Structure 1
Amino acid sequence: MLNVWKDIYQYREFLKNNVSKDLRTRYRGSIFGFLWTFLNPLFMLVVYSTLFSIIIKMPVDNYPIFLFCTLLAWNNFQSSVQSSASIIVNSGNLIKKVYFPHEILPISVVTGGLINYLYGLVILIPALIIFGYMPNLNYLWLPVIIIIQFIFTLAISFIVSALNVYFRDLEHMLNIFLMAFLYLTPVLYPQTMIPEKYQWLFNWNPMAILVTAYRNVFYYNEPPATAQLFILGFISVVLLLFSQLYFKKVKVKFNEEI
Structure 2
Amino acid sequence: MTLILSLTRREIAGRYRGSALGLLWSLLNPLFMLAVYTFVFGVVMKSRWTTPNQQSVTDSTGEFAVVLFCGLIVFQFFAEVVSLAPALIVANANYVKKIVFPIQILPVVSAGAALFHAAVSLLVLLIFAYIVFGHIPLTAVLAPLVFAPLIVLVLGIAWILASIGVYFRDMSQIVAPLVTATMFLSPVFFQRTSLPTWLQPWLSLNPLAIPVESFRDVVLFGVQPNWAALGNYSMVAIAVALLGYQFFQKTRRGFADVL
**1:20 maps to which of 2, 5, 9:** 9
Task: Write the letter of the residue equivalent to 1:54.
Answer: V
The CA deviation at 1:257 is: 1.1
Is residue 110 of structure 1 aligned with residue 111 of structure 2? yes
Q: Which residue of 1 aligns with 2:46?
A: 57
* Structure 1 vs Structure 2 CA RMSD: 1.3
Task: Write the letter of the residue equivalent to 2:103.
Answer: H
Q: Which residue of 1 aligns with 2:141?
A: 140
Q: Which residue of 1 aligns with 2:26?
A: 37
Distance 1:133 1:168 in 2: 49
Is residue 94 of structure 1 aligned with residue 83 of structure 2? no
Q: Which residue of 2 aligns with 1:5?
A: none
Task: Write the letter of the residue equivalent to 2:70.
Answer: C
CA offsets 1:136-162 (integer angstroms, 9 cap, x no match): 232232121121111011111111111
Is residue 125 of structure 1 aligned with residue 114 of structure 2? no
Distance 1:201 1:133 in 2: 35
Structure 1 residues 205-244: aligned runs within 5 Å: 205-244=206-245
Structure 1 SS opposite 2:136: coil
CA offsets 1:95-116 (integer angstroms, 9 cap, x no match): 2111121111111101111122
Task: Write the letter of the residue equivalent to 2:25.
Answer: W
The CA deviation at 1:133 is: 5.0
Structure 1 SS opposite 2:199: helix
Is residue 176 of structure 1 aligned with residue 165 of structure 2? no
CA offsets 1:182-233 (integer angstroms, 9 cap, x no match): 1110111222222223213212223100000011112221111110001111
Q: Which residue of 1 aligns with 2:81?
A: 80
Structure 1 SS opposite 2:153: helix
Aligned residues: 247
Task: Write the letter of the residue equivalent to 1:53.
Answer: G
Contact persistence 2:136–2:220 (CA under 8 A): no
Q: Which residue of 2 aligns with 1:8?
A: none
Runs of 4+ in 1 over 4 A off after TM superposition: none
* Superposition TM-score, scaled by structure 2 size: 0.91
Structure 2 SS opposite 1:186: coil
Q: Which residue of 2 aligns with 1:256?
A: 257
Identity across aligned pairs (percent)? 28
Distance 1:48 1:189 in 2: 13
* Superposition TM-score, scaled by structure 1 size: 0.92
Structure 1, unaligned stretches of length 5 or more? Answer: 1-11
Task: Write the letter of the residue equivalent to 2:27.
Answer: F
Structure 2, unaligned stretches of length 5 or more? Answer: 50-57
